[in-house]
Amino acid sequence: MNILFLTLSEITDVREHGVYKDLIREFAANGHHVYVVSPLTDNRQTHIVSEDNMEILRLKNVKNRGIIGRVQKGIAAVMTGRTFRSGIKKYFSDVKFDLVLFATPPITLYHAVKYIKHRDRAFCYLMLKDIFPQNAVDLRLLRTDGAQASVYAYFKKLESKLYAVSDKIGCMSEANIRYLLSQHPEIPASKAELLPNSLEICDQSVPEAERIRLRKKYGLPVDKTVLVYGGNMGKPQNIPFLIECLKKEADNPDTFYFIAGSGADYSLLNRYVQEYRPAHVKLVRRLPRQEYDKLLAACDIGLLFLDYRFTIPNFPSRVLTYMQARLPVIACTDNATDIGDVIENGGFGVQCRSDDPAHFSDAVGRILRSGRLSRMGDAGYAYAAEHYSVHRSYQIIMESVNEVSVH
């Protein structure tokens, strides 16, 4: 099959490890020809990179990350789908696609998806990662009334159109499915299915001697439990709450916090570290992926943070990196998501509310007193291998495509 993969994640090297890159390679490894449309974040011109069964169209000036101001970001988002469509018309005009894979964000990919669906009668599979615009409403980034009412109405209409043009909607968790169908009763229940985030699962843990070497190299204590948070530091992660948790844990003699990443609210963390000079915290900007993965395995517990105001069920893919490193997880979440339930039911961590730092400290105490860090880590790795492998995702998607072909 010829497969079109649309993503706003910049694909610089398809051989790297990642949710989308692993899935692209899985399709290519199974004999399909994969065409990827991906943005450029630098000033290079649009170009195509070919590798094995893959062709990656890298479009100039698409991605809106780094743009200042909500108005400019909104305009860039609206233009994304049309830019993708123009790129497909120009560079892939002679290719007939059988399957289109795409993920939210953004819903503005609708224009490109609709074009290919009508042109090639392609099967359109939406991987639902973010539920927009409701996530922006939850975080008070978008209002449903006043001056922004028309903007909200436009995005809601586009969201419904995207769901309608999709032949199948893969949701990250059971809570995602329930939420989608409850909020959009026009969607047939048969259109939604469970498609968790997935990776090419590989054991990222390291021997004890290597753990000690890495801790000394990066200035982490070898005699304390190191809790790690890595990744994006934006509004969804509720960085002000993370800071309050760090303050609450300042007198805990047994724990140390290592934080690595970047994002809109990195400056809040950096300001806290510069002002208070906490002895139990080390903050660094985003590390190269391979370096981060090694250092992650030298830590003891992985942390997840979701803003308590969310009414939509998020399921951060970050948890998979912790599971591969055999780290138990503490999930600080809202009431909508089921990721905390999955973690506790799977036996690889604990959950707490993300609106009270005292609950976080209680969760830290519970997981330390359990004496089961190693067993929890092993349980997490086994759970990932069974439920979150990229091959499983490939099979789920292909079963949906084949069902249509049979009928």
CA distance 326 to 205: 6
Mind listing the domains of the chain with CATH numbers? 2-200+389-406 (3.40.50.2000), 208-387 (3.40.50.2000)
Tracing tokens 């698409």 back to the chain, one arrives at 62
* pLDDT for position 406: 52
Q: Is residue 2 within 8 Å of 95, Cβ to Cβ? A: yes
**Global pTM?**
0.90
Look at residue 73 and tell me whether its pLDDT is greater than 70: no
pLDDT at 94 over 50: yes
57 phi and psi, to 5 degrees? -90, 115
pLDDT tens digits, 325-334 = 999 999 999 9
C-alpha distance from residue 343 to each of 289, 303, 327, 346, 364 (Å): 24, 12, 12, 5, 15
Q: Is the pLDDT of residue 240 over 70?
A: yes
Q: Could you tell me which of 369, 368, 342, 340 has the C-alpha nearest to residue 354?
A: 340
Q: What is residue 52's predicted lDDT score, i.e. its pLDDT? A: 83
Residue 65: the pLDDT is 46
Is 72's pLDDT higher than 60?
no
- Among residues of the chain, what percentage have pLDDT more than 70? 94
Q: Distance (Å, rounded) from C-alpha 34 to C-alpha 36?
A: 6
Nearest to 125 by CA among 321, 388, 385, 403: 403
In angstroms, rounded to a whole number, what is the distance separating the alpha carbons of residues 313 and 2?
32
How far apart are the C-alpha atoms of 268 and 239, rounded to whole Å? 7
Higher pLDDT, 130 or 178: 178
Residue-wise burial string across 92-112, b where 16 or more C-beta atoms lie within 10 A, e elsewhere: beeeebbbbbbbbebbbbbbb
Per-residue pLDDT tens over the stretch 333-348: 999 999 999 999 999 9
* Mean pLDDT (whole number) for 172-195: 95
Half-sphere exposure of 351 (CA within 13 A, CB side): 18
Q: What is the pLDDT of residue 100?
A: 96
Nearby residues of 255 by Cβ (< 8 Å), 6 or more positions away: 224, 225, 226, 227, 249, 280, 364, 368
Beta strands in 81-201 (DSSP E): 99-104, 123-128, 168-171, 192-194
pLDDT digits (tens, 9 = 90+) for 264-310: 899 999 999 999 999 999 999 878 888 888 899 999 999 999 999 99
pLDDT band at 78 (very low <50, low <70, confident <90, very high): low
Looking at the DSSP bridge assignments, the partners of residue 281 are 257
Question: Within 13 A of 197's CA, how many CA atoms are on the CB side?
Answer: 16
What pLDDT is recorded for position 9? 83
Q: Mean pLDDT over all residues of the chain?
A: 90
Higher-pLDDT residue of 245 and 231 is 245
Is 126 within 8 Å of 169 (Cβ atoms)? yes
The values of phi and psi at residue 304, to 5°, are: -120, 140
Q: What is the largest CA-CA distance in the chain?
A: 64
| CB neighbourhood size of 29 (10 A) | 15
Q: What is the pLDDT of residue 67?
A: 41
Token code pair at residue 195: 């498609």
Res 74: pLDDT: 52
Give the per-residue pLDDT at 179. 95
- What is the per-residue pLDDT for 259? 95
Render pLDDT for 34-53 as a digit per residue (tens, 0 to 9): 999 988 877 888 999 888 88
Range name among 144-153, 213-222, 284-293, 388-397 with the lowest pLDDT average: 284-293
Mean pLDDT within 245-263: 94
pLDDT at 145 over 80: yes
Q: Is the pLDDT score of 62 beyond 60?
A: no
Looking at the chain, how many residues does it have? 407
Do residues 354 and 334 make contact, with C-beta atoms less than 8 angstroms apart? yes
Query: Strands 192-194 and 281-285: what pairing?
Result: unpaired
Question: Angle at CA 279, nearest 5°, toward 326 and 304?
Answer: 35
Q: Is the pLDDT of residue 70 over 60?
A: no
